Amino acid sequence: MLVPDDLRYAETHEWIRVDGATGTVGVTDHAQAELTDVVYVELPQIGTIVEAHQAVAVVESVKAASDIYAPVGGEIVEVNGVLETNPALVNTDPYNEGWLFKLKLSNPDGVAGLKSAAEYRSQIGA
């Protein structure tokens, strides 16, 4: 199970990559493997203000539909529109091309409360 060291992780299996005041969010390799084949992604609206742990997107697979939660609070500033026509990127490249949305962090220090890669590996038994 791939768990990159440069990301922070939510207990609900979202990851965030912070660059300045912006965070890119997606689902982990573990989460996409549990979901199996992703067939649809419902992305949030740009400009939406979200709180940490708020459901902001939905990923549907052949197995189930799962809410995706904001790991930290902020404003949605970009979504990965490529997923509308190619939702399988969530499965094939969850940490790069399969990202879901970007948000402008309302409190950059909030990221410190998320799990490190080592803590997330322990959570999933990897």
Q: Give the tens place of pLDDT for each residue, 88-99.
A: 999 999 999 999
Domain ranges of the chain: 8-110+117-121
Query: What predicted TM-score, i.e. pTM, was given to this entire model?
Result: 0.96
Q: What percent of the chain has pLDDT over 70?
A: 100
Is there a contact between 101 and 44 (Cβ–Cβ < 8 Å)?
yes
pLDDT at 1 over 80: no
Output phi, psi for 121, to 5 deg: -55, -40
The CATH number that domain 8-110+117-121 falls under is 2.40.50.100
User: Are the C-beta atoms of 105 and 111 separated by less than 8 Å?
Assistant: yes
Beta bridge partners of 75: 49, 104
Nearest CA among 76, 39, 83, 36 for reference residue 55: 76
pLDDT of residue 100: 98
